[in-house]
Structure 1
Amino acid sequence: MTLKITQETDADGCTIMTLEPALTGGLKGAPERRPLDWTQFEQNDTLFGLVRIRSRYIDGTVISDGQVRPLVELQIKDGGQDRESFLGGEFSIDTKHEVTGGIIKEAFLHDFVCSINSGWIAEQIWAVENTGEEKILTRRIVVVNGKSIQTARVVYNRQ
């Protein structure tokens, strides 16, 4: 899957990220505009229907060379132990950014998504990860629907 990401700042100084997915097989999803200030907004997603979303940048703490853990307060409280280790675990990201006191500012993107019609909730951590010489955009996702808990890792080609 390919994802084009652009950012802009609105008149109030809020960063707005636009995600434009192009799915394999020629399918194209609708662009998503996300304010990154943790305010809740609704969006009618072409794949998932009507959802409420909150998004923000979060910092990361350096664990070791190239290993960074997101500093996140998870919103899903009943997702089991896997949710915490999966979403809050170590990522292989570039630590060449400015590190102050072991903290990298805005190292990750954190999303919390609630389906209005289907009853599921999802929490996501996005990162640009290193895989050898290549940098890839990844998204770790935990979805809870009733007693069902699913995890996924999505890897994107970046434009």
Structure 2
Amino acid sequence: MAAPASKTIGDLNGTWVMNKNLSDNTEPGLALQGIGYLTRKAIGFATVTLAVKQYRGPPLPPSTGGECVRIDIEQTATGGIKGTTENRCADGEQRSHSDWLFGTVDSHSHFVAAGDDLRKAVSGHGVDDAGADYLAANWLADEAEKTGPDGAAHLVSVAHNQKDGWIAVQVWGFQNIGGERRYARSIVLKKGDKKVEMRLVYDYVS
């Protein structure tokens, strides 16, 4: 279902299910990231659910300072696919994380305003002009969406797998899709001269 007005980039708390009909095919992106054929196919058939907890709390290591906005996500899937955990601290500091699917990844996340600020935030990181245009396009950016720190409307996440040589740049926010306001992630994946652009769209469950 569409996202209720109470769900914004400042409050993603709840359960979200990826809408496979509205989302792009994930297989090309997973292939670029080195995920095997059988696992890609299983993920393609699975129902993927995100349980999101967003709050202010102590930062993840290696930081030892004050609070940051934490976004903890437990991702589960049907069909015998193992779940993964995404724990983010949206302070822009790089941290390492390992899981069974993507291996060891260095990543950082931060909130960003809409418009030119968003395009500037995603430029670089191996993203060309066309990729930056893709990541910055189609977002809702009215005052009701500016609920993040300092009026931010989006979260930008950059992940780099040094061993396998890929980088993923994501923008999270809300878009009008099929006449309904929905939570979405636009993603550009790069590995060498190969690039995949895709959008994932989520239904709000509870």
TM-score band, normalised by shorter chain: 0.7 to 0.9
Confirm or deny that 1:4 pairs with 2:58.
no
Cα 1:142–1:94 shift into 2, 3 Å: closer
- Cα deviation code 1:81-139 (max 9, x no counterpart): 32121012231x2625277xxxx822111011100320111111011223356432211
On the 8 A contact 1:6/1:19 being kept in 2, the answer is yes
Amino-acid identity (%): 27
SS in 2 for 1:60: coil
Which structure has more helix as a fraction of its residues?
A: 2
On the 8 A contact 2:188/2:198 being kept in 1, the answer is yes
Report what 1:153 is aligned to.
Answer: 199
Alignment of 1:66-105 (within 5 A): 70=118, 72-76=120-124, 78-91=126-139, 93=140, 95-97=142-144, 105=151
Residue 20 of structure 1 deviates from its aligned partner by: 1.8
The amino acid across from 1:70 in the alignment is L
- 4+ residue stretches of structure 1 with deviation over 4 A? none
- Cα deviation code 1:17-69 (max 9, x no counterpart): 0122223435342221100000000000332110001001111149xxxxxx8
Confirm or deny that 1:29 pairs with 2:77.
no
Residue 142 of structure 1 deviates from its aligned partner by: 0.7
Cα 1:156–1:24 shift into 2, 3 Å: farther
Confirm or deny that 1:144 pairs with 2:190.
yes
Cα 1:108–1:147 shift into 2, 3 Å: same
Mark the runs of 5 or more structure 2 residues left unpaired by the alignment.
Answer: 1-47, 59-65
Distance in 2, matches of 1:15 and 1:37, equals: 7
Higher relative contact order (Cα pairs below 8 Å, separated by 6+ residues): 2
CA-atom RMSD in angstroms:
2.6
Distance in 1, matches of 2:91 and 2:200, equals: 24
